[in-house]
């Protein structure tokens, strides 16, 4: 049944003098299973950013706990809250990139949803960007006045070691390049976005290492807080992604990191093959055929597990030329199906042909 075109239609348009200007400051918050922290975080942002033209963009990787739905419920009552829900894609860095590109604000900030970052630093970050010739303002744990909170000695040492590796990959002196709490000018993001790797969790490191020119950076101290709700995302996968990012930013221009990864896993597979063959053929006195069969099966199993569990978090390409970055190969289909990369897929991605 067709609607009556003569019936009155509500006018949702606003007079031109009532159209509000866009936000000056956007806070980008990547989320995954952070529903319990969202209401408290929003309330803190409302208090600390009162009087400013701001917005917050939650970029959620389809959290099973309803994080996106929780943020949407708050957004219905406050137009400054926005939600970007990604389906079939994972990764903090790529989530931050998409969130920043979705905002028209000239100044952008990135922080976690777990309440471990000190949101009271945000107005100061914005003021520094407004008044000083600075490209990036970093919330730092490793300058005077900052700290790592209740971290144990082991975690502090690991963080310090990762920091030294990160410092070698960037062009600016920075005490805390591993920080996930920072603000920057939007035009800087637009200049470097096609160079970004979007691997793993360290988007600040990615931005700093991708800039073709030296950037002006200022660090502000803050004390890292303890998580009170939700679960930590820090695991071996995070460490692997970090290593892949460092390699991509140091040797990735010459040797594609995805190729390096396959060579590394393949080399370990050769070692496993000969180790199992030696054990079966020499120690257990099996026939060569049985030993070779067992060794081949063991090596194939090892390589399959290594490629499946060790591949970096991939996201849709930010640039068409994947050789600039290993993460620019889209592997969403592999992630959704749970399959591992196959050799034909690898060769076709890297050389445009199959073996």
End of a domain among 250, 265, 282? 250
Residue 186, domain member (yes or no) = yes
Residue 148, domain member (yes or no) = yes
| pLDDT exceeds 60 at position 233 | no
Same domain, 241 and 262: no
More reliable by pLDDT, 55 or 272 = 55
Residue 4, domain member (yes or no) = no
pLDDT in the model for residue 78: 95
Same domain, 96 and 172: yes
Total number of domains in the chain: 2
Same domain, 179 and 322: no
Question: What DSSP letter does each residue of 339-350 carry, written as one string?
Answer: PPPPHHHHHHHH
Query: Is-above-0.75 flag for pTM?
Result: no
Mean pLDDT of 48-61: 96
Same domain, 62 and 196: yes
Same domain, 245 and 274: no
End of a domain among 250, 277, 309? 250
Q: Which residues have a Cβ under 8 Å from the Cβ of 56 and sit 6 or more positions away? A: 26, 27, 28, 29, 42, 45, 80, 81, 82
Same domain, 346 and 202: no
| pLDDT exceeds 70 at position 57 | yes
Same domain, 314 and 264: yes
Same domain, 30 and 135: yes
* Token representation of residue 339: 């399959």
On whether the CB atoms of residues 243 and 169 are closer than 8 A, the answer is: no
pLDDT grade, residue 15 (50/70/90)?
A: low
Residue spans of alpha helices (H) in 255-316: 257-278, 288-310
Q: CA-CA distance, 220 to 117, in Å (whole number)?
A: 12
Tokens 């600075």 — which residue? Answer: 134
Tokens 């920043």 — which residue? Answer: 100
End of a domain among 210, 226, 250? 250
The domain that holds 143 is classified in CATH as 3.90.550.10
Torsion angle (degrees, nearest 10) of CA 312, 313, 316, 320: -20
With b for 16 or more beta-carbon neighbours within 10 A and e for fewer, the 206-241 pattern comes to: bbbbbbeeebebbbbbbebeeeeebeeeeeebbebb
Same domain, 224 and 277: no
Residue 8, domain member (yes or no) = no
Domain that holds residue 337: 257-351
Mean pLDDT of 286-297: 82
Residue 5, domain member (yes or no) = no
pLDDT in the model for residue 50: 95
């Amino acid at each position: 049944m067709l609607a009556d075109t003569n019936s009155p239609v509500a006018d949702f348009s606003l007079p031109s003098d009532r159209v509000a200007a866009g936000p000056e400051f956007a806070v980008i918050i990547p989320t995954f299973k952070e529903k319990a922290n969202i209401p408290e975080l929003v309330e803190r942002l409302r208090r600390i950013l009162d009087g400013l033209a701001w917005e917050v963009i939650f970029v959620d990787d389809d959290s099973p706990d309803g994080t996106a739905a929780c943020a949407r419920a708050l957004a219905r009552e406050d137009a400054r809250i926005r939600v970007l829900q990604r389906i079939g894609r994972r990764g903090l860095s790529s989530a931050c990139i998409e969130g920043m590109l979705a905002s028209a604000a000239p100044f952008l900030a990135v922080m976690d949803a777990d309440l471990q970052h000190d949101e009271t630093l945000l107005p100061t970050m914005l003021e520094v960007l407004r008044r000083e010739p600075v490209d990036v303002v970093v919330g730092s744990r490793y300058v005077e006045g900052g700290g790592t909170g209740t971290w144990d000695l082991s975690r502090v040492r690991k963080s310090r070691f990762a920091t030294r590796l990160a410092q070698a990959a960037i062009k600016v002196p920075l005490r805390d390049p591993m920080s996930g709490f920072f603000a920057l000018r939007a035009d800087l993001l637009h200049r470097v976005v096609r160079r970004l790797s979007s691997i793993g969790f360290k988007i600040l490191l990615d931005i700093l290492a991708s800039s073709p020119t030296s950037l002006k950076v200022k660090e502000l101290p803050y004390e890292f807080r303890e998580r009170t709700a939700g679960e930590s995302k820090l695991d071996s996968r995070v460490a692997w992604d970090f290593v892949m990012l460092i390699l991509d930013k140091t040797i990735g221009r010459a040797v594609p990191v995805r190729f390096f990864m396959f060579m590394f896993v393949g080399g370990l597979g050769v070692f496993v093959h000969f180790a199992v063959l030696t054990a079966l053929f020499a120690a257990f006195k099996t026939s060569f055929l049985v030993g070779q069969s067992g060794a081949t099966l063991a090596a194939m199993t090892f390589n399959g597990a290594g490629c499946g569990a060790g591949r970096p978090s991939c996201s849709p390409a930010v640039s068409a030329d994947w050789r600039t970055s290993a993460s620019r190969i889209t592997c969403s289909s592999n992630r959704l199906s749970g399959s591992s990369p196959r050799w034909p897929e690898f060769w076709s991605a890297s050389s445009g042909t199959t073996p």
